[in-house]
Structure 1
Amino acid sequence: MGADREGGNRRTPGRAVAYAVCGVVLLAGCASMPDSGDLQGVESTPRQDTQVRVFAMPPRDDAPPSEIVQGFLEALTSDDPSYSTARQYLTSEASRSWEPEQSTTVLADGPGAEAGRPGGRDEGDDYSFTLTGTKVATVDDQQSYAPASGGYAKTVHLTHDKKTEQWRIDALPQGVVMGKSDFQRNYMSVNKYYFASDTKSATYGQPMAVADPVYVRERVDPMTQMVRSVLNGPTSWLRPVVRSSFPTGAALKKGVTALTPDDQNKLTVPLNDKAAHIGRAKCDEMAAQLLFTLQSLTPTVEEIALRAGGGQLCSLNEREAAAVAARGSETRPEYLYFIDGHHKLVRMASSAGGNAEADPVPGALGDGAKTFRSVAVARDEHSAAGVALDGKTLYVTSFTAGASLGEAVLQSAGKTEDDRLTTPTWDAQGDLWVADRDPADPRLLLLQKGAGQPIEVLTPRLDGRIDAVRVAADGVRIALVVDKDGKQSLLIGRIERAAGSGDRPSVSVQELRSATPELEQVTAVAWAGDSRLVVVGRESGGVEQVQYVQCDGSIPESGTMPGLTEVTSIAASEYGETPLFATSKDGLLWLPGGSGWRTLKETSSVALYPG
């Protein structure tokens, strides 16, 4: 489960549920059910590799209250597009008022159900159960995932219908609830795409495509789900910093219920008349949004055609979409860079995969006259920023033969190396970010185009000291490793820019949220896709591990990678076909696709990609 799938095919989850007595794949109706007493928890089914459609069974005649609740909960985990079978466990009024799309609550295990006392309407004619569990996450009505914690306790009430003489649920919480493994089987993470409102690519001036990860039901026509989701607009968290090229009110044409590519891998999307009079440039952006989105879902879609008002508006293929907007995951870095044992910057062609000899970069960062503890290479690979070995000073210089280092662009007054400058990071429009960890004046700073007077970035509600900074390629999301009372957590924030004084904007990081709620120590982090990061950290009482996480706090399918110990740095690129590099007690290691970590150099050296 993961929206970023660069560098490997996504394993399709499935669930094989075989009931010999029933003869088909079922969820309810074959197990022996108690007539009274506490209801057992709905056990989450272990994931398996076989792709299987799972269908629910309707309630059987004369089923007792416990079986009605059990069958309903299991029907929530089926592949029924409109939950029509689950609704058969409800009264007509409850079915009309129940909105399953309002939210999905994910529990550590399947929900338990504790039988309560009859409500006392008429003797023996009503019953209640309390659904219980430990919350892991929620998915809201915008399909946005958020980690959650704490207990879950919701009441389900049943009534005995005097006309049909059947038990049915007449009161229940909105949304659906299920265990973690059932959620992983039913839902998949997909990136939908919008455009950054205030940032453009420094290289070509294109708008930057921004990934907005959402969760959709995997076997309920996810392609049509994703098109509707894009048309509905960005999630609330991302909305302040992105725009959609679709006009307000644009939707699928009335009567369109399913979308399927043709045998040329071209998907035609019929829109309502709200989109009938747009210009070609705007139409190309709309098509690019959908193409980027659907290729996050499946690589088989190669072209998007938009229709409205009885005619075709535009058609866009992969090559044309790349000219419309820039994406970090589509930009392969030319070089992989290292800070070698002499503390100077060297590089090798990224296509060499770690097997070539590294040469010093042109200019002051590679000549060895000044030593550096950390470096960030600009995304256009024409310049870089370096923090001196003692952590006090920051320099910016170009990769030009004979270029001088010049004066420092920033200095820290921190008394120790750990209280000075972090590793810097560049965004897509060529601005440089760095944190000063001086306890007397901790700040997050931005240098426009890597020069000038630093802008102090506002960080409302930040609780702790910033130990590491990584800006996403889109320029609107930032990853911060924050230390609070000796514990390090990874937070993702939204970068907002507003008019300031003169040509200096006001910049802030808003709505910080945890991407690693289960980790208490985060050693290193890097962006590894449009919405994915690679993190080195450990849980409380656990061992250090290297794993992928989504920026929304969910864990993609690729999950944990081969273990390493005492990792001090990690290098990854948003372009997914580049290997990972790490520095540990064993030296410099790299991770070719589909294999374990390999030692590149036994002496410690720091690897880095542009950004």
Structure 2
Amino acid sequence: MGRHFVGVDREGSGGRRRPVRVGAYACCGALLLAGCASMPDSGDLRGVESTPRQDSQVRVYAMPPRDDAQPAEIVQGFLEALTSDDAKYETARKYLTESAGKAWDPYRSTTVLTDAPNPESGNAGNRDGADGNSLYRLSGSKVATVDGQHAYAPDSGTYSKTVHLTRLKDTKQWRIDGLPQGVVMGKSDFQRNYVSINKYYYTSNSNSGAGGPLGTVADPVYVREQVDPMTQMVRALLKGPTRWLDPVVRSSFPSGTELKKGVKSLSPDDRNRVTVPLNHKADHVGRSQCTRMAAQLLFTFQDLTPTGVDEVELQKSDGSQLCVLTENQAGTVASHGTGHRPEYQYFIDDKQRLVRMPNGDKKPEPVPGALGEGDKKLRAAAVSRDESSAAGVSTDGSSLYVGSLVSGGSLGEAVLHSAGRTEDDRLTTPSWDGRGDLWVADRDPKKPRLLLLRKGEGEPLTVETPSLDGRIEAVRVAADGVRIALIVEKDGKSSLQIGRIVRDTSGDQPTVSILEPRSVAPQLEEVTAMSWAGDSRLVVIGREQDGVQQMRYVQVDGSAPVGTAPSTLTGVKEIAASEDERLPLVAHSEEDGIVRLSSGEQWQKVVKDGTAPVYPG
């Protein structure tokens, strides 16, 4: 009865996992353990208990159906088996008829519900199974769906599916002969079973002949954490990017590349090297292409083991070596973001100048150049990712200026003006992408626009936003230049949207569009601030309906990452994070001014009078 559990430590708050400690105990023997429920012999089910989320992760092994199990027990046992760490769902198939087992595809999708699915008898008052048939309806409230590409998407509404059972003529045993495709489970079981990992591709506009590192884009997916996640991730990487990201990224692996037939599991050897045997599709790639392939794997592997992976070897279909790439060498092939670690954090001081403070130093200083040394008063600013230029918004929000961060540099005329009637109807805080282009939204109700200035100068280009419903209140472009985070306001509610940036240079006039925006914090109805805080993560300030202000991390796919949320801070108006997750959060609090939060510490005051903190970007 029940399931067999093995306890292991959960991931810490950082990106890498702690070494595993394993201790086994069975459910259930002479003593009944917590989380182990008895199986009813007949009648309706009260609902399958979802395994509680605990600090210590539990590995779950399913138990096969016992002889003479009645329909209610078969349904409950099957649902329990879906939440186990059985790699191929072999135990779950033992609850099915032979034909149903062949037709069922558990890998098609995973439906996540608020609680475990609630099974209710659907036999319309007839005695359960009196005619050799039995029907159960599974119901619940949907939270999310993970598709066949392992891509997570928030979902809502009612889940309602039926499970049909029949009594086998030869053995007289009850088995399921009709069921929905995929698997279904409660949120706590999903969090215990699955882990989010980034796989990496290259931006479509990367110039492989330019000589420098290629730009990478994180594509987060969910895989089963205790079922050989390394091999799952390699297979997912080779199949290509998820559908939403596919139009703006590319893979270096030739089309049709798969693991060599017969390869069942991948793991690091005693030198922390992972050997990846490929099929014949990769046999004839050149060395430079092979190193790009290996770099994709190395970046993907970085959070799969406690210490990362030091080296990747790719093999041809005949077992001979294709190429080898070390972690140190990977940085010359590809880079996260711009490959530049910020030297400073920036904000607007009490004199309305742009100032900076070195990492680890609490003493701010005016930036060199007119935006720090001149007399132009600012209310917001953005610093280019190479920290050579900055853009500043005037105190009334009507004008945008761009200047170099060189001592003595002058400031020319404004590069952009807004005609909005009030300060809140004018320019947002700008944002620089990894290409050196500057983004800003004009909130003028008569002419709301998202604008792009190439290299921060020239005639602004109006960015097309055909599917965006509402007015843009804040803009943050990812370092990869293919994703953009927007706070969008409509009817008094503001939401966080992630859009895909598509550039079309085929015509006489190049166009830039934001396509397929998707809400990534649907539970928040008032989002007031946000910032990128990693390759696929943002930090968000907002509140739920009738709730209080909170600070949380969210993934670009809309899921909530496992780990410690930022500690509470009162009255946060603005937040800044770096895509380099080692750097501290910086915020503007109404009560405390500019404050900073380093990993493992509490919020520390920097200066009492200051606003608009930013990192380069």
Amino acid across the alignment from 2:204: S
Q: Match for residue 182 of structure 2?
A: 175
Query: What is the distance in 2 between the residues matched to 1:6 and 1:450?
Result: 37
Amino acid across the alignment from 1:463: D
Amino acid across the alignment from 2:579: E
Q: Match for residue 434 of structure 1?
A: 440
Q: Structure 1 residues 171 and 391 mapped into 2: Cα distance closer, same or farther (>3 Å)?
A: same
Range with bigger deviation, 545-554 or 307-316? 307-316
Give the match's secondary structure for 1:282: helix
Amino acid across the alignment from 1:152: Y
Matches within 5 A, 1:539-558: 539-558=544-563
Cα shift at 1:319: 1.7
Q: Structure 1 residues 25 and 240 mapped into 2: Cα distance closer, same or farther (>3 Å)?
A: farther
Query: What is the distance in 2 between the residues matched to 1:551 and 1:309?
Result: 36
Q: Match for residue 212 of structure 1?
A: 219
Structure 1 residue aligned with 2:309, among 301, 304, 311? 301
Query: What is the distance in 1 between the residues matched to 2:484 and 2:277?
Result: 36
Give the match's secondary structure for 2:434: coil
Matches within 5 A, 1:196-235: 196-199=203-206, 205-235=212-242
Cα shift at 1:40: 1.6
Query: What is the distance in 2 between the residues matched to 1:7 and 1:35?
Result: 45
CA RMSD of aligned residues (A): 2.4
Cα shift at 1:558: 2.4
Q: Match for residue 415 of structure 1?
A: 421
Confirm or deny: 8 A CA contact 1:495 1:509 kept in the other structure.
yes
Confirm or deny: 8 A CA contact 1:76 1:83 kept in the other structure.
yes
Amino acid across the alignment from 2:559: S
Q: Match for residue 353 of structure 2?
A: 344
Confirm or deny: 8 A CA contact 1:17 1:54 kept in the other structure.
no
Cα shift at 1:325: 1.3
Query: What is the distance in 2 between the residues matched to 1:57 and 1:507?
Result: 55
Cα shift at 1:440: 0.4
Q: Does 1:166 align with 2:187?
A: no
Give the match's secondary structure for 2:370: coil
Confirm or deny: 8 A CA contact 2:16 2:303 kept in the other structure.
no
Confirm or deny: 8 A CA contact 1:273 1:308 kept in the other structure.
yes
Give the match's secondary structure for 1:114: strand
Query: What is the distance in 1 between the residues matched to 2:113 and 2:224?
Result: 17
Q: Does 1:405 align with 2:411?
A: yes
Matches within 5 A, 1:388-403: 388-403=394-409
Structure 2 residue aligned with 1:560, among 557, 565, 568? 565
Cα shift at 1:260: 1.3
Give the match's secondary structure for 1:366: helix
Structure 2 residue aligned with 1:364, among 370, 377, 383? 370
Query: What is the distance in 1 between the residues matched to 2:602 and 2:34?
Result: 40
Aligned residues: 602
Cα shift at 1:25: 9.3
Structure 2 residue aligned with 1:510, among 515, 533, 547? 515
Structure 1 residue aligned with 2:335, among 301, 311, 326? 326
Q: Structure 1 residues 592 and 200 mapped into 2: Cα distance closer, same or farther (>3 Å)?
A: farther
Matches within 5 A, 1:440-589: 440-499=446-505, 501-502=507-508, 504-558=509-563, 560-586=565-591, 587-589=593-595
Per-residue CA deviations over 1:567-611 (Å, capped at 9, x if unaligned) read 110010000110001111121111121122222222243321100
Structure 1 residue aligned with 2:161, among 154, 159, 170? 154
Q: Does 1:602 align with 2:608?
A: yes
Per-residue CA deviations over 1:494-535 (Å, capped at 9, x if unaligned) read 001112554x52110111101101000111000000000000
Query: What is the distance in 2 between the residues matched to 1:367 and 1:5?
Result: 44
Cα shift at 1:560: 3.0
Structure 1 residue aligned with 2:140, among 114, 133, 150? 133
Cα shift at 1:423: 0.4
Question: Which of structures 1 and 2 has the larger relative contact order (alpha carbons within 8 angstroms, sep 6+)?
Answer: 1
Query: What is the distance in 1 between the residues matched to 2:189 and 2:23?
Result: 9
Cα shift at 1:191: 0.1
Query: What is the distance in 2 between the residues matched to 1:166 and 1:476?
Result: 55
Q: Structure 1 residues 437 and 162 mapped into 2: Cα distance closer, same or farther (>3 Å)?
A: same
TM-score by length of 2: 0.93
Cα shift at 1:50: 2.8
Confirm or deny: 8 A CA contact 1:5 1:296 kept in the other structure.
no
Q: Structure 1 residues 120 and 46 mapped into 2: Cα distance closer, same or farther (>3 Å)?
A: closer
Q: Does 1:290 align with 2:297?
A: yes
Give the match's secondary structure for 2:505: strand
Amino acid across the alignment from 2:400: L
Query: What is the distance in 2 between the residues matched to 1:309 and 1:55?
Result: 35
Give the match's secondary structure for 2:575: strand
Cα shift at 1:47: 1.9
Query: What is the distance in 2 between the residues matched to 1:38 and 1:573?
Result: 52
Q: Does 1:21 align with 2:17?
A: no
Q: Match for residue 194 of structure 2?
A: 187
What percent of counterpart residues are identical?
61
Cα shift at 1:329: 8.6
Q: Does 1:250 align with 2:260?
A: no
Range with bigger deviation, 291-300 or 361-370? 291-300
Query: What is the distance in 2 between the residues matched to 1:22 and 1:177?
Result: 31
Give the match's secondary structure for 1:54: strand
Confirm or deny: 8 A CA contact 1:26 1:56 kept in the other structure.
no
Give the match's secondary structure for 2:321: strand
Query: What is the distance in 1 between the residues matched to 2:338 and 2:83?
Result: 33
TM-score by length of 1: 0.94
Q: Match for residue 86 of structure 1?
A: 92
Q: Structure 1 residues 15 and 474 mapped into 2: Cα distance closer, same or farther (>3 Å)?
A: farther
Q: Match for residue 80 of structure 2?
A: 74
Confirm or deny: 8 A CA contact 1:25 1:54 kept in the other structure.
no
Query: What is the distance in 1 between the residues matched to 2:374 and 2:494?
Result: 34
Cα shift at 1:51: 4.0
Query: What is the distance in 1 between the residues matched to 2:323 and 2:39?
Result: 57
Query: What is the distance in 1 between the residues matched to 2:16 and 2:23?
Result: 19
Amino acid across the alignment from 1:336: Q
Amino acid across the alignment from 1:344: R
Structure 2 residue aligned with 1:263, among 266, 270, 283? 270
Cα shift at 1:12: 9.0
Per-residue CA deviations over 1:460-499 (Å, capped at 9, x if unaligned) read 1111000000000110000000001111100001001112
Q: Structure 1 residues 200 and 522 mapped into 2: Cα distance closer, same or farther (>3 Å)?
A: farther
Confirm or deny: 8 A CA contact 1:343 1:368 kept in the other structure.
no
Range with bigger deviation, 158-167 or 331-340? 331-340
Query: What is the distance in 2 between the residues matched to 1:455 and 1:583?
Result: 31
Q: Structure 1 residues 156 and 26 mapped into 2: Cα distance closer, same or farther (>3 Å)?
A: farther
Amino acid across the alignment from 1:214: V
Confirm or deny: 8 A CA contact 1:16 1:51 kept in the other structure.
no
Cα shift at 1:34: 2.6
Q: Structure 1 residues 93 and 501 mapped into 2: Cα distance closer, same or farther (>3 Å)?
A: closer
Query: What is the distance in 2 between the residues matched to 1:291 and 1:453?
Result: 41
